[in-house]
Structure formats: C-alpha cells, structure tokens
Structure 1
Amino acid sequence: MPLSEYEQRVLEQMERQLTSDDPRLASTLQSRGRRGIGRWVIAGAGLLVGLLLLVAGAAGSQLWVGVIGFVLMLASAVFAFAAPRPSGPTGIVDAKGGVGPRPTSNRPTGNRPTGKARKQRGGFLQRFEDRWDRRREDRGH
C-alpha cells in the first residue's frame, strides 16, 4: 500500500529534521543499505562450504575438517556483517591536493592525566586511602 502525499511529506520532513539534528547518525543509517550483492554472495558461499565441511568432518570423525568448516563459517559471517572498508586513499590531504600519511600523535586522548599530573594526584590506591581517611574523620573515628 503506497503512502499518501501527506504521509510522504511528513516522512520527508522527519528525514530532514534527523539530518539536521544528527548528521552523523543520518549518514550511518543511509550507508547501511549500500552493500553490494557480491559481498552477500561471497559470504553465503563461504557459509555453505563451511557448513558442508563441518558436516563432513562430523560424519567422517575428522575433527580438523569440522574445525576448518566452523572457522570458515565464522569468517564468512564476519565478512557479511562487517562494515566495508572505504575505497580510495586514506590520510591527510596536503596543500597540493595529494594524500599523505596520517600524522602520529603522542598526545593523550580523553581526560586521563599523564606524567606530572598523574604523579601529583597519586595512584588509585592512594586516592582510595585518602577517601577512606576522610570518611573515618567525618564519622569521628
């Protein structure tokens, strides 16, 4: 049953709102359906061959054939559902338009203190002991 004109307009408005509110989520949702049929065919063939090897290994009492079949099935499933790698060059585009390697940074990530700040704060056990002492002092012990 096709959508009415009103439903189509509402759906398009919701799509525009989602794109403006969270463009990263919108691009992720749009890119989900862009997998090639070849990826599914290869994964299906791998699953089928893996299943046949697993059954043959079990029927013939040969453990190694069954293990190979299981590993092949697992690898095919991972291949089917893993995000495809982006095609083309990856890295940083320089001023000339070429692509260079990504710079390696020794800069810390997140809010974790490093070096001097970590030494000033003390380790986990020191902080734990400080909290314990404060609690005991607050209770009057």
Structure 2
Amino acid sequence: MPLSEYEQRVLEQMERQLSSDDPKLVNTFQGRASSGLRRWVLVGLGAVVGLTVLVVGAATSNPIVGVLGFIVMFVSAVLAFSPPRRSGPTGVVGPDGTVRRPGTAPKPSRNQSFVQRMEARWERRRDERGR
C-alpha cells in the first residue's frame, strides 16, 4: 500500500531531522561511500601488479612467475566485475521464527484459504498502524 502525500512529507522531514541530528548514525546505516573508491583503487593496483609480474615472468622465461602474474590479474578482473558485498541486515526474523530477506513478504501457508490469508494480511496492516 503506497504512502499518502502527507505521510511521504512527514517521512522526508523525519529523515532530514535524523541526518542533521546524528550524521554518524546515518552514515553507519547507509554504508561508507569511500569503500567504493577504495575497491576500485585496490582492483586497479592489483591489475597493474599482476601485469608487471606477468611481464617479468615472460622476460625472464620463468613460467611460474608469469602464471602468478596472470592469476593476480584475473582475480583483479573478477573483483572489478563482481557486485560489491552489501553490509547490513541479511534477514528479518518473522513472528514464527523464520528468517526472510528484508522487503519480502512472508509466503502464505498453503493450508490456509484465500479468505484466511486476506484476514491475516488485514490484521498485520492494522497492527502496523498501531490500532
């Protein structure tokens, strides 16, 4: 169910207030922006080091050094194209003790009828609103 315009304004106002009151807490929940830059610097450095070791291995006719350089370059390329890990909550524990991903609704039981599932959904919404 989407939020009304009033609820969206109140939520935005609360977010602004929180970010002005405690920016450290907001940064903790949002993650660090510098970690993306640090990741790219490390990946680039790994690729340059791997290429250098590969060239040294080829120049000295040492295949082991060349293979190690290739492996370092390959790992750097894999890290560059893989999505970054997200820190934060990995699951939400439901009232019945099951763990699910945040933002996903729990799956309804197959033993319940359509009407029972709708009643349970209605009750959850009422509970969320505090009534």
Q: TM-score, normalised by structure 1?
A: 0.42
State the structure with more CA Rg. Answer: 1
Q: TM-score, normalised by structure 2?
A: 0.45
